[in-house]
Amino acid sequence: MIVVENLVKRHGRQEILRGISLRVAKGDVAVVIGPSGGGKSTFLRCINGLEPFQAGTVSVGEHRLTPATQPRRDARLLEAVRRKVGFVFQQFNLFPHLTVLENLIEAPLRVLREPKGAAVARARKLLDRVGLSEKTDQYPKDLSGGQQQRVAIARALVMQPEAILFDEPTSALDPVMAGEVLSVMTDLAKEGQTMIVVTHSMGFARGVASHVHVFADGRDVEHGPPAEVFGHPQHDTTKAFLAKTGQAR
């Protein structure tokens, strides 16, 4: 479903991504872990067309992004990619002036041109799915961080994406709120939702991932099934990172 080949991203002379390749099939949960500054968030933003890149390709289904892709000229291509691939940000990014329900129906109404009744019905079902059916008329400021992130997940789901990118969705939350969000994500994985998740939650990586990728210095230094990466790490960076996070055997 998503194929990234030899992706290179630079900021000036600084190389953020150094030839990363990664494939995600339908129903896979690819989890990206590793030390800070390894390029994990930038990688996600390149997949969704939020960041340009200098070399390589990103294929989402039949759609292909290249270094030549330009936001204005290729607006339709980028819109098609973002319809297929939702994005859940670290800081929620809800519209503060809209209610929870209005946050969910904004994109279906404006982008998909759906009838309001259909958009509202689907939004209500998704809010029930993430345990927030009673919060429809509240504003983001009235919600806890965990509740806001669950609204953000529902907002991504309401567009019926084929895959969702999660950029450290629990890093701004306390352990209880993080658990609420990870529970929703675990349920999505069980239902077959394709996901790429950048996270510091090693429990989620161990228990939910189809494949774990360890990013460091802009490279995918090690990847494989969770049992292999956590149980038999090969790269020194992986060993050091797992030791630092208390995951070493």
The 10s digit of each residue's pLDDT in 221-245 is 999 999 999 999 999 999 999 998 8
Quickly state the pLDDT bin for 95 (edges 50, 70, 90): very high
- pLDDT value at residue 246: 79
Q: Are the beta carbons of 209 and 196 closer than 8 angstroms? A: no
Residue 248, pLDDT > 80, answer: no
Residue 156, pLDDT > 90, answer: yes
Number of Cβ within 10 Å of residue 32's Cβ equals: 29
| Mean pLDDT (whole number) for 19-41 | 95
Q: In the chain, what are the domain boundaries? A: 2-244
Give the torsion sign (CA, 14, 201, 164, 214): positive
- Among residues 124, 131, 230, the alpha carbon closest in space to that of 183 is found at 131
Q: Are the beta carbons of 28 and 211 closer than 8 angstroms? A: yes
Q: Are the beta carbons of 130 and 154 closer than 8 angstroms? A: yes
- pLDDT value at residue 249: 60
Q: Which amino acid is at 102?
A: E
Q: Which amino acid is at 106?
A: E
Residue 114, pLDDT > 80, answer: yes
| Mean pLDDT (whole number) for 81-109 | 94
Quickly state the pLDDT bin for 132 (edges 50, 70, 90): very high
- Among residues 86, 185, 208, 61, the alpha carbon closest in space to that of 129 is found at 185
- pLDDT value at residue 4: 98
Average of per-residue pLDDT values in the chain = 94
CATH topology of domain 2-244: Rossmann fold (3.40.50)
179-198 pLDDT, tens digit per residue, is: 999 999 999 999 999 999 99
DSSP secondary structure of the chain: -EEEEEEEEEETTEEEEEEEEEEE-TT-EEEEE-STTSSHHHHHHHHTTSS--SEEEEEETTEEE-TT--TTTTHHHHHHHHHHEEEE-TT----TTS-HHHHHHHHHHHTS---HHHHHHHHHHHHHHTT-GGGTT--GGGS-HHHHHHHHHHHHHTT--SEEEEESTTTTS-HHHHHHHHHHHHHHHHTT-EEEEE-S-HHHHHHH-SEEEEEETTEEEEEE-HHHHHHS--SHHHHHHHHHTT---
- pLDDT value at residue 187: 95
